[in-house]
Amino acid sequence: MHNVLSSAVFPDPRLPVAGERLEVVADVAPHSHAFFEIAVVVAGRGTHVSAAGEVALAPDSVVVLRPGEWHGYVDCEDLVVRNAYLGPDVFGLLSGALVPGALGPNALGVGAPTHPAVQHAMRLLESDLAEPWTLDQLAARVNLAPGYLIRLFGKSVGLSPMAYLTRIRAERAAGLLIETELPVATIGAQVGWHDPSHATRRFRSTFGLSPSQYRSAFRP
């Protein structure tokens, strides 16, 4: 099943909030993602499919998806939806933004474009989460000094490279917890957390729940 990466959805990783209007002219294959999605039908008809079953859609229908849930659309007839996407940590970011300077002077504005080296580093991390990445290794791959890469990441993403890695590992783990029956330890190893205790701590730091609690709460 296709997994939609957060970096492909949020134009500014420092504030993971995005939206779009979609005209669904063909079936949309089941896919998953590690962010919240709220879809409001504004026209047409179709059927929403997910692990919870099939639901007929009509104007004003609303679909709410948690991080890690898979879904798709079938039997669409002139279906138009407005989607809102929210990162799993967006509520904490918005709360912090209420404190002057908490996220930096441009946290809610349009910042400078993401540096190409940062974009490259993000793609490298996302493409191989199981790799035991270190800052020095990542910096070498993008031909930058480690300290300079940290500064560029801070300006573009609002996180250090290793903090960003923790977030995307947790997002992928969330998807696997809902999509599969794999043991928590196996999922941790697949995203680069080979120590189960460390995996639980890192996952909880992102979602506020242990992996087992997350699976129990959100798996249909």
Domains of the chain from N-terminus onward: 2-86 (2.60.120.10), 112-218 (1.10.10.60)
Region 14-24: mean pLDDT is 85
Q: So what's the pLDDT on residue 149?
A: 95
Mean pLDDT of 190-201: 94
Burial code (b: 16+ CB inside 10 Å, e: under 16) for 149-180 equals bbebbbbbbbbebeebbbbbbbbbbbbbbbbe
With vertex at residue 215, the alpha carbon angle to CA 130 and CA 159, rounded to the nearest 5 degrees, is: 50
| Range name among 63-72, 119-128, 177-186 with the lowest pLDDT average | 63-72
pLDDT band at 152 (very low <50, low <70, confident <90, very high): very high
Q: Tell me how far the alpha carbon of residue 187 is from its chain's centroid.
A: 17
Task: Let me know: does 80 contact 42? Beta carbons within 8 Å.
Answer: yes
Instruction: Note the pLDDT of residue 1.
Output: 55
Distance of CA 102 to the CA centre of its chain: 22
If one compares 104 and 164, the residue with the highest pLDDT of the two is 164
The answer to whether 121 touches 135, Cβ cutoff 8 Å, is no
- State residue 111's pLDDT score: 42
Q: 41-45, 59-63, 213-217: which range is least confident on average?
A: 213-217
pLDDT of 167 over the 90 cut = no
- Amino acid at site 26: A
Count of H helices and E strands in the chain?
Answer: 8, 7
Residue pointed to by tokens 């729940």: 209
**Cα 150 from Cα 155, distance rounded (Å):** 9
Q: Three-class SS of residue 86?
A: strand
**pLDDT, average across residues 156-175:** 88
Give the H/E segment covering residue 135.
helix 135-141
Report pTM.
0.61
* Residue owning tokens 């089941």: 30
pLDDT at 88: 67
Rg, Å, the chain Cα set: 18
- 80-97 pLDDT per residue, tens: 999 999 876 665 444 333
141 Cβ contact list (under 8 Å, min separation 6): 120, 121, 124
For range 20-45, the mean pLDDT? 88
Most confident of the ranges 4-18, 23-37, 152-166: 152-166
Over residues 209-216, the mean pLDDT reads: 89
Is the pLDDT confidence value at 161 over 80? Answer: yes
